[in-house]
Amino acid sequence: MRRVTRARPLADLIGKTLEPACRKRGFAAADLLSDWPEIVGERYAGRVQPIRLDWPRGSRGGEFDETPRPATLVVQTDGATALLLTHEMPQLVERINGFFGWAAVERIRILQRPVTDRRRQPPPKLRPLTGEEEAELHERLAPVEGTPLGAALERLGRAVLARTR
């Protein structure tokens, strides 16, 4: 008998692929990069970018149960934000350590460089569909109507039809 598997979120699959690249840049977990907006909040999400974690020498060796010494998180931001960030650094270190679940970061080093805003842009406003387009969409989706797949396909169909023309 064939075993049915559920679809997994793309983030779960990509995270494992990014681990080696993140480890090379000093990030033990890709989660810090992907969850950065939730960690720092809306105020700093697009204005502060984590660059790397600098671990002290010899902090990764030793016994298996030994916790490594805290790292320095290197971030980049513009000059005005750097001033604000400096004043809120203790709270930010606390939030980062709360994310990791242990004292992973001892301090933050700020590099003043221009930052590109990587936050998601809101989707563009779509034009309303004509009656003819609505009818065609409902006709094509009749076999999957009332299912989660049907709802997803309807959203996709609306977006495609609204952009053409």
pLDDT, one tens digit per residue, over 114-133 is 887 665 667 778 889 999 99
- Band of pLDDT at residue 61, cut at 50, 70 and 90: very low
Q: What is the pLDDT of residues 19-60, one digit of tens each?
A: 555 454 445 556 788 888 889 988 898 899 999 888 888 755
- Domains in the chain: boundaries: 10-112, 131-163
Phi-psi region of 139 (alpha: psi -120 to 50; beta: other; left: phi over 0): alpha
Specify whether the CB–CB gap between 134 and 97 falls below 8 A.
no
Considering the domain delimited by 10-112, tell me its CATH architecture.
2-Layer Sandwich (3.30)
pLDDT of 94 > 90? The answer is yes
Measured from the Cβ of residue 28, the count of other Cβ atoms closer than 10 Å reads: 16
Q: What is the pLDDT of residue 27?
A: 54
- Band of pLDDT at residue 65, cut at 50, 70 and 90: very low
Please report, for residues 7, 48, 75, 77, 94, the alpha-carbon distance to residue 84 in angstroms, rounded to integers and kept in the order given.
Answer: 42, 11, 14, 11, 16
Check residues 6 and 144 and name the one with the higher pLDDT: 144
